[in-house]
A and B are shown apart, each in its own frame.
Chain A
Amino acid sequence: MTQFDGKGSQVTVGVPAGRLKPKRVRRNLDLTLWEKLYVFEIIRGMYVTTKHFALNMLGFVLPPRGKKRSVFTVYYPDEKVVLPPAYRGRPVLVMRPDGTERCVACGLCETACPGHAISIVGAERENGERYPLSYVLDMTRCVYCGFCEEVCPKEAIVMSSEYQGLAETDRSRMRYSKEQLLRSEESVKGRIEYIRRIYSKCNY
């Protein structure tokens, strides 16, 4: 490390003070004697924690009769949080009512995906419609960015609100095939509507 020579730095700011409005924080360099004797501040701190303790004791450990527990903690496997419509869970493929997928294997999602999580093998049906012969989503690479959903021209892949059941004890099981990804239109209806709303126009 070179030594600091202290040259050439001036603490003047080139911004008008009226715009800047600096506010000096109160350092209370000289604590009052009261505060210097640890004890009283400690008691004040304990008052805060004890208040939380008491409130929570009354609030959810021993709730008053007839009142609902006021819990901050979510008892996860039994309770679930309400997710906002914007929430991006795992991407799923949308299935048409007839059981086929909406996807036309255009490959946009594959390109847009920053993690290269999607690999598609396209094929053509008899009626000339393209469809993905295999559609593999590598959950170990997906970063839930939502780009696939955003670029898909067919609303075929959407970010569902699912987040459960993704943990695995075996990494090889985390490459999801088309069958594992397909969801009925009903189950992702909310999300599709949401996408329509936010992506329908450039400006709204």
Chain B
Amino acid sequence: MSEIAKDLHTEHMVINMGPSHPVTHGTVKFLVTLDGETIEDLKVEIGYLHRGFEKMCESGTWYQVFPYTDRLNYVSPLINNVGYALAVEKLIGIDVPERCKYVRVIACELSRIADHMTNVAAGGLELGAFTAFLYFVEARELVWDLIEMLCGARVTTNYVRIGGLKNDLPDGFKQKTLEVFKRCRVLWSDVNKLLTKNRVFIDRVRDVGTMPAEEAIAYGFTGPCLRACGVPYDVRKANPYLVYDRMDFEVPIGETGDNFDKYLVRMEEINQSMRIVEQALEQLPGGPINVDMPYYRWQSKDDIYNRIDSLIFHFKTVIEGIKPPPGEVYLAVESGNGELGFYLVSDGSGKPYKCRVRPPCFPLTAAMPRMMKGRLIADIVPTFDMINMIGGECDR
């Protein structure tokens, strides 16, 4: 039918979708060339949320990077915290205590649950399923309560420290978690009932945004989107960090990489993450949560109050910052969207010389034109939602 359109001298309709458009989360602009309803061409313009993450990191101390990492992938800030801390620890060459590892795993997985819930919820919302959205927001609210209990903030957690954590698990955390998970599972199954088998939903997402595995790899997909294509690559399994190798969990994979697969993978990962948290809580050992290397952390209050050398040293670390040895490392963790890599360069001073983040949703967004050409304009909605582009992470 496009031939007719050409005969009719149909000028193509070029519209700006975004940046301030409900589907683009305010941070992307799609320049869509339409022929009727079909997308002839799609150009993605990002950078609307570029706030100079790297420059800010380079101008602060190693510690001051933590709040900035919170705001990278703001849907799962704890994973960013952990990733950065792990990278710095690798740079310095220290290993954190067992308990710390477990708590970090718990924190990461809670964050992942919140992330996937938000993603599925937002996807549902934009497809018009407002109720499913609110059920997951409700569940996320409960998970956030846990996170708040743990870190003191709902979104911008700033919880992990180099060589340890800010604080230990609070009292009653385990019991509260189990309670919350019980309710979360109810809400999860409600959403599952509302969406997974609903033909209206399936019609919208199935066979849209398909990506063959080879191509997905070439585009640099990672995370749920790659797993949806059938490639079981998960950093937690491939290069287990922390104590993931002791956890018993499965990596859900899809078949064709369409949006339905991405959705199913995410739904399943929520379950798996809950399992991990429960296991970690079960196995949680006692002991310290911080490394015993006072050089790399801010001094404890007891020492500061009582020992003058500690106080002086404290002043030094705060003002000059801790000083990892010169060198460079790259460390990847599995964030909500895939491989979140930190590439740190230290020149031996108190400030990071370079603090690069490999944003997992960056290549995903870059593949939008590939996934969208020749599809209908309405297909942008689920596809873009399911790649879960997070402005803070993509634009930094």
Contact = CB atoms under 8 A, between A and B. Distances in A.
Contacts, number: 181
Contact of A23 (B131, B190, B250): B250
Interface string A35-52: 110100110110011001
A155 B288 CA distance: 23
A86 B159 CA distance: 11
A3 B338 CA distance: 24
A71 interface: no
A135 to B, nearest CB: 18
Nearest to B154: A87
B162 to A, nearest CB: 12
Contacts of B8: none
Interface string B155-173: 0101000001011101000
B67 A201 contact: no
Interface string A3-30: 0101001010111000111111111100
A86 B318 contact: no
Interface string B187-207: 000100110011110100000
Contacts of A21: 237, 249-251
A2 B194 CA distance: 40
Given A6-B214, A21-B249, A35-B199, A13 B232 contact: yes
B264 A150 contact: no
Contacts of B179: none
B254 interface: yes
A66 interface: no
Contact of A45 (B194, B233, B249): B194
Given A20-B251, A203-B289, A153 B305 contact: yes
Place the interface of chain B in its size category: 35 or more
Given A11-B217, A21-B251, A145 B260 contact: no
A23 B251 contact: yes
Contacts of B265: 25
A143 B156 contact: yes
A23 B294 contact: no
A159 B166 CA distance: 14
Interface of A, secondary structure class, is: loop
Contacts of A41: 197-200
Contacts of A72: 138
A27 B255 CA distance: 8
A77 to B, nearest CB: 19
B19 interface: no
B197 A27 contact: no
Interface residues of A, number: 60
Contacts of A112: 63-64, 318
B133 interface: no
B261 A27 contact: yes
Nearest to A107: B319
A146 B152 contact: yes
Interface stretch (B24-32, B295-303, B375-383): B295-303
Contact of B300 (A45, A114, A201): A201
Nearest to B142: A72
A200 B214 contact: no
Given A4-B219, A145-B67, A147-B63, 4 more contacts: A27-B255, A38-B199, A86-B151, A204-B288
25 contacts: A9-B213, A9-B214, A11-B213, A15-B238, A19-B245, A20-B232, A20-B234, A23-B250, A23-B251, A23-B253, A25-B264, A25-B265, A27-B254, A38-B199, A48-B194, A52-B131, A86-B151, A86-B167, A88-B152, A108-B314, A114-B68, A151-B298, A153-B314, A199-B300, A202-B299
Interface of A: 1, 4, 6, 9, 11, 13-15, 19-28, 31, 35-36, 38, 41-42, 44-45, 48-49, 52, 72, 83-88, 106, 108, 111-112, 114, 143-147, 150-151, 153, 155, 159, 195-196, 198-204
